[in-house]
Amino acid sequence: MRIAFLGLGIMGKPMAQNLVKAGHEVKVWNRSSGKSVDGAHSASSPKEAARDAEIVWLCVSDTKAVEEVLFGDDGVIGSLKAGAIVVDSSTILPDASLKFAERVRKNGADFVDAPVTGSKVGAESGQLIFIVGARAETFEKLQPLFSVMGKSAVRVGANGKGLAAKLSMNLMIALTYEGFAEALVLAKKQGVEVKPLMSLINQSMVRSGVVDYKAPFVMARDFSANFPMRLMHKDIRLMLEAARQNGVKLPGLETVDKVYESSAREGNANLDYAATLMTLEKAAGVS
Amino acid sequence: MRIAFLGLGIMGKPMAQNLVKAGHEVKVWNRSSGKSVDGAHSASSPKEAARDAEIVWLCVSDTKAVEEVLFGDDGVIGSLKAGAIVVDSSTILPDASLKFAERVRKNGADFVDAPVTGSKVGAESGQLIFIVGARAETFEKLQPLFSVMGKSAVRVGANGKGLAAKLSMNLMIALTYEGFAEALVLAKKQGVEVKPLMSLINQSMVRSGVVDYKAPFVMARDFSANFPMRLMHKDIRLMLEAARQNGVKLPGLETVDKVYESSAREGNANLDYAATLMTLEKAAGVS
């Protein structure tokens, strides 16, 4: 297929690369120049990239960037073909995405929110999970592309629902890790030996994918960014804004937001979100 | 071995039964009469049960009950043999347990805190996990008994550390479930379809033992008590008290404590702790 891929960040670049490898005709564009994808044509604007594209795939940083890429000067909308599908894998506010979908539809194209879960490694190895808000028939049309970039794609409802589900899942990550971090501080301050504690965690129902993934880094005191705290914090703010818009109270998440604020003030924003542990440790006088 | 088993509640009774099945000579006692264990002698007091016992195992409801059974009128201390080992599987404050250990040691016996993780089913099938605070050599002596009642026993340090670790692990349960509950409310209020969302959770890193266990009950709206909310709330208060004593701030847990308070006020205290979801749903106007 003829695909425009807009946004060559940590996730976008390997996703576009996997589309090229699968034999698709890919045009790429990135806001800052100097990024490219082997075998893909580099376009000078979203508008140029989207010209003649059957699929326009976005993976950019925030709501404002999506709006700019779609509707700004030289934006996608200036060249978008009727019948094309715009797929947005950025993590933005569901409500904003819904409005973008409506604007795109008025131009005779369709729109899909398809945020992903899975790290940079998952993007490189084509093992992402797509969390999709779309019309059922549009979702079906995209399956061959999802399968090139991911191990799975699940449709959770109409437009905006993919993002709502993605944010809810990241909420679970934030609270599950907070539980691990608070437990670790409480145990260590009382003199519990951490190695046997980790063994207990691993063989009991408190085990989780989040702890499985983060614990080895935490034990090695390696807080270098895998999922940077500032990005998780950005997602937490999106969750809280979506909650506010929908009249939902999230007391646990509100508290975790404050932990992230404290941790950012301590200079940890560019570390992994796991470094929120250091903020709890500092307050308790343990390390 | 000659074992006194004190406390025949949901967990204690099947634990004592498994000791009898393994061929041990067991005397049992329970505060309220009318409870017994097949093949075990029923004693009329902790003191009578502990007479000549090599091991005195406790599994009672709270700190006050442990103190009463050990040091009250007709308590264990009145007949405890020098060289005996008192093992406490009750979930109480680590600090209180440490004081009990010191008092028992003055009588020439040893003391071990060995709270468990695993449900009633785990107790019946001998699949508990013991989280142990003990002297290393005393821990070794108890291995044959742990293996009769559990699938695993892990020593995490000296006296009190078993309880400190157990409380920390239950903290992880409380926050992991809170994350699941808040995510579910946020997603449902936004119209996400729950069935595909659960599929996404199960195939991604947000999966956890807690969600694996609770989700089927939650999906079936079955909030009957497996781990009653009032008991989890009791444990949360122990965690917060242990945190206070040790100068540890647990912001997430403090918030979850308030969710449990609200839920208890709504009349859910005797339901499963999973019913805290209903309190979040009520506040958000979803069900």
Tell me how far apart the alpha carbons of residues B195 and B174 are, in angstroms, rounded to a whole number: 23
ipTM: 0.96
Helix intervals (H) in chain B: 12-21, 46-50, 63-71, 94-105, 120-124, 136-149, 161-189, 194-203, 209-219, 229-245, 251-265, 276-284
CA distance A49 to chain B (A): 32
CA-based radius of gyration for chain B: 20
At A157 the pLDDT is 98
pLDDT at B120 over 90: no
Tens-place pLDDT, residues A215-270: 999 999 999 999 999 999 999 999 999 999 999 999 999 999 999 999 999 999 99
At B119 the pLDDT is 83
Tens-place pLDDT, residues B74-111: 999 999 999 999 999 999 999 999 999 999 999 999 99
As annotated, the active-site residues of B are: 166
For A268: left if phi > 0, alpha if psi spans -120 to 50, otherwise beta; the answer is alpha
Percent of chain B with pLDDT over 70: 100
Of A175, A189, A254, Cβ closest to residue B176 = A175
At A119 the pLDDT is 83
B148: which residues sit within 8 A by CB, 6+ positions away? B18, B19, B21, B22, B24, B126
At B146 the pLDDT is 98
Mean pLDDT, chain B, whole residue set: 97
At B133 the pLDDT is 98
The distance of Cα B102 from the centroid of its chain, to the nearest Å, equals 22
At A120 the pLDDT is 86
At A22 the pLDDT is 98
CA distance A117 to chain B (A): 8
At B35 the pLDDT is 94
Tens-place pLDDT, residues B199-216: 999 999 999 999 999 999
The distance of Cα A210 from the centroid of its chain, to the nearest Å, equals 15
Helix intervals (H) in A106-152: 120-124, 136-149
> End-to-end CA distance of chain B, in Å?
53
Of A167, A175, A280, Cβ closest to residue B179 = A175
10 Å Cβ neighbour count for A140?
11
Nearest Cα to A204, choosing from A188, A183, A186?
Answer: A183
At A174 the pLDDT is 98
Tens-place pLDDT, residues A196-230: 999 999 999 999 999 999 999 999 999 999 999 99
At A198 the pLDDT is 98
At A287 the pLDDT is 78
At A100 the pLDDT is 98
Mean pLDDT throughout A8-30?
A: 97
Tens-place pLDDT, residues A111-153: 999 999 988 889 999 999 999 999 999 999 999 999 999 999 9
At A51 the pLDDT is 96
pLDDT at A23 over 90: yes
In chain A the domains, ranked by start, together with CATH numbers, are 2-157 (3.40.50.720), 164-284 (1.10.1040.10)
Of B152, B161, B190, Cβ closest to residue A191 = B161
Instruction: Tell me, yes or no, if B122 comes closer than 8 A to chain A by beta carbon.
Output: no
Tokens of A87: 């797929």
Inter-chain contact A283–B246, Cβ cutoff 8 Å?
Answer: no
